[in-house]
Structure 1
Amino acid sequence: MSDAASSPSPGRAEPERARDLPDWLLPLRDGVAEIQAEDLSGFVPPADPPPREGAVLVLFGDGPEGPDLLLTERAHTMRSQPGQVSFPGGSLDGDETAVEGALREAEEETGLDPERIEVFAELPRLWLPPRNFAVAPVLAYWRDPDPIGVVNTREVHAVFREPLDDLLDPAHRFSVRHPLGWAGPGWMIGPDKDVLLWGFTAGIISRLFDYVGWTRPWNTDDVRGLPDQHIEWHRVAKFLGIEVPEGEDFDPVAAGLVDEEDRPR
């Protein structure tokens, strides 16, 4: 592992900021004390070229339905990853630390008050290769939750406080297969369980649950295709070396990547 990947980033959270966490959260706090990037992802940030730096807030709280996790659904009109569920977060500004950036982005997206947030861990930076983006997950507890909601409709479509019991319930778990062949963890979330959680965010949640021993046995044979609205077909075409004429959309059926009757919607 390179020094850039293994060293904690500046501004790593001090433990004394969250000395009085609820009992249910202690296994997570203690479990991640020695966690490495490879325990969370197969992709570790390279030293060269230097990646763009970012952070996300992995915020746990005591909600009306018990312990929960804060998630957002990206606006459906965004050019990149429209409608994808994610943790609040984004790029760091200037010399901002991961903790500062994660709290700022969460406030801008959901309206939460950073003063109510107790950070208890900053995890190693993880890498999103397509965008050369290094992201530090910041783990925190929301002791006295304030009202939240969508602040910027250009970036956020919905905000969820997803109960941990629902995320741990085997009935809501499955795998999602991408058109390029790889598969990763997936959940249906939200009040009506009609919003797909997959990709980078689902991977962090799944690995964290596994690492601290929270995961319950679930049906790993339940593998579902990724719905069409979540697939960035132009990136798929570029990855496969397929030239798409300027101004035209990529047709995966015509390219032989999927059958029309099997294409998830």
Structure 2
Amino acid sequence: MSWDSREGELTPSAAPPWLAPLVENPGAVKNAYRRRVPAEVLAALTAANTTAAVTGTRRDAAVLALFSGPADGDPGALPDDADLLVTVRAATLRHHAGQAAFPGGAADPDDRSPVHTALREATEETGLAAGRVRPLVTLDKMFIPPSGFHVVPVLAYSPDPGPVTVVDKSETAHVARVPVRAFVNPENRIMVYRGENTRRTAGPAFLLNEMLVWGFTGQVISAMLDVAGWAQPWETDKLYELSDAMALLDAEDSYGEAQR
């Protein structure tokens, strides 16, 4: 069985009704993701992906997009108490240091599948009890330079994942179950770009009480909100360079009631 196999590990029937739009059409998330990525960034990603494949530097990885909340509800209607598990990577890491991310990482040789990788990494990073988690579907692979990872997001659900916390401070700086309504709230949404003269490459981001969620993770969350029908109109002209956006985290009362 190859690492790409998901046989016997996915239980889409375990999804609550409010996650139905994502579970029933997981391919739409990548399409929504690509629509949000500027054309020149998409071209650069495609070129980097091709180069990594030719040179053999592309690596398999998986992340866990774990939603928690009630087991009932109306199809597509977001419950007030639904949340999403997010971590902040330690500032000392080689790749994506200090960045908010889904728990996850590179596949180990003994990993059986993306589901196995995502659950193993999430347990190592957050202390998550994997037995409480129901993997629902896998989203399409997405390439992330400069790390060279070919990432499979694993969409999962738990009515109650139990306590989560930082397990290893050398890898993870912060762990949080963030209310999904905090991502939906238009007041928390901004556009972020990195470096000078790259405003056209800005992507969606979320400015929360304890973290700035941007880059790959911000793009995936934005795409999921769109596909699920949870997104609300927001000011896409709220544009910040990355360092300026990070500085807002330290500015008292700079972005209102951000965790609502």
TM-score scaled by length of structure 2: 0.76
Choose which of 67, 79, 87 in structure 1 pairs with 2:102: 87
Q: Which moved more, 1:102-111 or 1:43-52?
A: 43-52
Task: Please show how residues 233-244 of structure 1 align to structure 2 within 5 Å.
Answer: none
- Which of the numbers 186, 192, 195 marks the counterpart of 2:211? 195
Matches within 5 A, 1:240-259: none
Question: Aligned residue for 1:162?
Answer: 178
Asked whether the 8 Å contact 2:10–2:134 carries over to 1, the reply is no
Say how many residue pairs are matched: 219
Q: RMSD over aligned Cα, in angstroms?
A: 2.5
Match of 1:11 in 2: 5
C-alpha displacement of 1:130: 1.7
Pick the structure with more helix per residue: 2
Structure 1 residue corresponding to 2:23, chosen from 8, 29, 33: 29
Shift of 1:149: 0.4
What SS is found at the alignment partner of 1:57?
strand
1:52 is displaced (CA, Å) by 0.8
* Alpha-carbon offset, residue 82 of structure 1: 2.2
Higher relative contact order (CA 8 A, sep 6+): 2
Q: Secondary structure at the match of 2:69?
A: strand
Structure 1 residues not aligned, in runs of 5+: 1-7, 231-265
Q: Does 1:142 align with 2:158?
A: yes
Runs of 4+ more than 3 Å apart: 13-16, 34-39, 41-47
CA shift at 1:18, angstroms? Answer: 3.8
Offset of residue 81 of structure 1: 2.5
Structure 1 residues 43-80: Cα deviation after superposition (integer angstroms, max 9, x where no partner): 46444234111000010002896001000011123343
Cα deviations by residue, 1:13-35 (Å, 9 ceiling, x for unpaired): 65862423222111221231x43
Q: 2:203 aligns with which of 181, 184, 193?
A: 184
AA aligned to 1:84 is Q
8 Å contact kept, 2:63–2:103:
yes
Q: 1:133 to 1:124 in 2, by over 3 A?
A: same
Of the candidates 177, 182, 190, which is equivalent to residue 174 of structure 1? 190
Whether the aligned pair in 1 keeps the contact of 2:21 and 2:227 (CA below 8 Å) is: no
Deviations 1:79-123 (Å, cap 9, x if unpaired)?
Answer: 432211000000001152111000000000000111111011111
Residue 59 of structure 1 aligns with which residue? 66
TM-score (norm 1): 0.75
Choose 1 or 2 for highest CA Rg.
Answer: 1
Secondary structure of 1:66's counterpart equals: coil
Q: CA deviation at 1:205?
A: 0.7
For residue 123 of structure 1, what is the amino acid of its counterpart?
A: L
